[in-house]
Structure 1
Amino acid sequence: MKAYWIAHVDVTDPTQYSEYTRRAPAAFAQYGGKLLARGGRSQAMEGRATPQRSVVIEFTSYEQALACYHSPEYQEACRYRESAARAEVIIVEGVEV
């Protein structure tokens, strides 16, 4: 069953954050991740205010999504995001249709 990363990000240092966005896609690709949404238009309909960026990444399985998040490649990319953005990342298993 597929799984998805859902991330909400508010960027505080665009220059530093660009280093994260330059490195992270290689980790996603290594674990079969497919970007479905990355920072396009969005509007909060309920709940908290709309973040600057919303990201959705599809993986072939929950295990692959977790492996990608915990991988050395992705954790290296995260070092560049830590001081450049506030992020919420959730990994959720999909449903069979």
Structure 2
Amino acid sequence: MVAYVVFTREKMRNSAEYERYREKSRPVNAGHPVKPLALYGNHETLEGPAIQGAVILEFPTMEAARTYYHSEAYQEAVRHRFLAADYRMFIVEGIQS
């Protein structure tokens, strides 16, 4: 069943580290069955604390999403995101239509 990886950026702390993250994470996508659905587009917070931006990625399964996140290449990139900003990230399974 399809799965979605959702990132919400709460607070940017270091834009140089974020650029390193972007440079390192983009090539990782080519090796995984990922489909970007939302990438920091216009957004509106309706409940809870305001966010600075959001990303939604679609994967064919929860396992494919986990494989992406835990891959050596993504883990090399993500350390820069940890230095760059405060995020929430989760995987949620979709529903069959």
Task: Confirm or deny a common fold (TM above 0.5).
Answer: yes
CA–CA distance in structure 2, aligned partners of residues 21 and 31 of structure 1: 16
Give the gaps of 5 or more residues in structure 1. Answer: none
Residue number in structure 1 paired with 2:36: 35
Give the gaps of 5 or more residues in structure 2. Answer: none
Q: How many residues align?
A: 96
What letter is aligned with 2:26? P
CA–CA distance in structure 2, aligned partners of residues 83 and 7 of structure 1: 15
TM-score, with length taken from structure 2:
0.92
TM-score, with length taken from structure 1:
0.92
Aligned to 1:69, the other structure's residue is in SS state helix
Aligned to 2:24, the other structure's residue is in SS state helix
What letter is aligned with 1:66? R
Q: How does 1:1-97 map to 2 (within 5 A)?
A: 1-9=1-9, 10-49=11-50, 51-97=51-97
CA–CA distance in structure 2, aligned partners of residues 59 and 7 of structure 1: 14
RMSD between superposed Cα atoms in Å: 1.1
Identity percentage of aligned residues: 35
Aligned to 2:91, the other structure's residue is in SS state strand
What letter is aligned with 1:27? V
What letter is aligned with 1:3? A
Shift of 1:26: 2.1
Runs of 4+ in 1 over 6 A off after TM superposition: none
Shift of 1:56: 0.2
Shift of 1:71: 0.7
